[in-house]
Chains A and B, each alone.
Chain A
Amino acid sequence: MDLGPFEADNTVSCRLASAIPDICKTDDCCLGIDEAGRGPVLGPMVYGICFCPVSKKDELKALKVADSKTLTEEQRESLFVNLDEAKSFVGWALQVISPNTISTSMLQRMKYNLNALSHDAAIGLVQFALDSGVQLKEVFVDTVGPAEKYQDKLSQRFPGIEVTVRPKADSLFPIVSAASICAKVARDHAVKGWKFLEDLGKVDTEYGSGYPGDPKTKSWLLNYLDPVFGYPQFVRFSWSTAQTLLDSNAVPVHWDDDEEDGEKSAARQNNTSMLSYFNRTSSQANGDQSSGRDAHRFFTERRLQNISSL
């Protein structure tokens, strides 16, 4: 599997896809969706789709694809080779969501949570298959959340396609197993070959599983904690594991959209500008204007004020 396009810029999301088998453009197809790397505090999350003609389901089964979680890494690799060899009737596509995208989305001013991120990735992949001419009739999805709502959402979004959302779909439907193998292989490769944009010298790659409970992961997170920057972008800052470690080991950083404390929120309610808020509270800015008129709006609009000491 070639992750080149993702590795070229691993700060953003990236779509990778196989060639579309010709038969998928003419025959009714089924499509499976699964994800890999949702839980870990490290590395990308990968959404995968796999599709083949409904008439070829048995041939897919013969490839002996199974839920990627029950397989070893070597088994997944060899099954992916099998899938690749079946490219005359099996196609796949992946959405690699970078850890930086996960962090910045989840921590965004307008919070974009992991579920929304996941659903959008899945929908984007199905749309990609449709746009590529795949004759979709059935879609099977593995889910961790409530299946019904998700199924309704997908059915509405893709009328005319029979959508089945099911927990453990990856062990029930071979096409979902195939998708899970593609996603997991990509995730493994991405983590293993992670190129740190940060200039950290040689990085210890004993990340462990990446799950917060793994002691190896935990000790890696402690070793690679920078008091100012926190972590390289490889780490999902939005995970509570990362946040907790930063809260106790890094210097505090405050943003203007931090949970408002009483004073700040009151200042907003009172419709005073942050400037005057600052004037009142900062020991730096001695309120030169306090004894006279208000400063001209040229200065207040530009947050410029006289000071009485450095």
Chain B
Amino acid sequence: MRKPGKTLAPAPFDADEVRRLAEGLKALDGALLPILHAINDRFGHVDERAVPIVADVLNLTRAEVHGVLTFYHDFRRAPAPRHVVRLCRAEACQAMGADALHAELEKACRGGPVLVEAVYCLGNCALSPAALIDGKLYGRLDVAKVLELART
């Protein structure tokens, strides 16, 4: 099924495709999350216009779908830039200077094609500071390394 953290280039909204994805998964127990993942993966984000369609397919209200959608940071509400760096901000990485790294990255990436996001623990504490860069895990990072990895 879906590859964790993988972010595709954004595709234009397609109501029929959203409905098709939702119909295909609606028989699952607790189908809402798999459907939102499928849409997120397919389009790179979950467009607001997808919410009423998913609600209709699952016979839920817009409010219920919206509540779940906005609860999880992994579901994007808008197309992401080309590259996403999900930098760990949890304790072990903090101890290894992740906060400073974050500040430097923010500065370096502002307005560019690389989006820096926070994540709390990737289970890679022995190799802090760690980050997921475009879905792939890396450790012992510094600014230069991150930028190099993100731009390739």
Q: Do A and B bind each other?
A: no
Q: B residues near A, CB below 8 A?
A: none
Q: A residues near B, CB below 8 A?
A: none
